[in-house]
Amino acid sequence: MKQRIVVGVLLLVFCLMAGAADRKFIVKPRASDMKALPFSDAVLVGNTLYIAGHIGLDPKTGTPPASAEDEARLVMDGIKGTVESAGLTMDDVVSVQIFCTDLKFYDTFNSVYKTYFHGDYPARAFIGTDKLLRGGRYEVMGIAIKRAQ
């Protein structure tokens, strides 16, 4: 009986500590027509960064660039900027999901994607989809975990 009480108390303390983790909401500056959108670019909970979906839009036009390669670069720059805003690096990224409206862009995306990492790559999924917001070809989201220093 005494062991069950100790285990129960330890479990309760652990749950309370896990639920009490500070959360930092990362919201990068946005164009005026996007300021009121109801989401954060990422949320940092403890050492884990949850990266929201990013689309590679030209900041001047608010639309995807003509080139699939340029769009891949813009979306990955957006991911990198969000990760760095949280105090992490791209080498802290552990998981990535890429949604793409045409799987023929797989190699184009990969040629850009691989330049954002040094050494090992995150776990990843490349998923075909019908349409993305604002006519984007790619939407990228992921998870990063800050490494102990």
Higher pLDDT, 65 or 28: 65
Determine contact, residues 51/141, Cβ cutoff 8 Å: yes
Largest CA distance in the chain: 69
pLDDT tens-place string over residues 111-140: 999 999 998 999 999 999 999 999 999 999
Residue 22: the pLDDT is 92
How far apart (Å, rounded) are the C-alpha atoms in residues 9 and 27? 37
Residue 38: the pLDDT is 85
Average pLDDT, the chain: 88
- Residues 6+ positions from 69 with CB-CB distance below 8 Å: 108, 111, 112
Query: Running DSSP on this structure, what letter comes out for residue 21?
Result: -
Determine contact, residues 59/87, Cβ cutoff 8 Å: no
DSSP 58-125: -TTTSS--SSHHHHHHHHHHHHHHHHHHTT--GGGEEEEEEEES-GGGHHHHHHHHGGG-SSSPPEEE
Percent of the chain with pLDDT over 70: 82
pLDDT at 14 over 60: no
How far apart (Å, rounded) are the C-alpha atoms in residues 66 and 64? 7
Domains in the chain, CATH or no CATH each:
22-145 (3.30.1330.40)
pLDDT tens-place string over residues 40-67: 999 999 999 999 999 999 988 889 999 9
Q: What is the mean pLDDT of residues 66-88?
A: 97
How far apart (Å, rounded) are the C-alpha atoms in residues 116 and 97? 15
pLDDT at 11 over 50: no
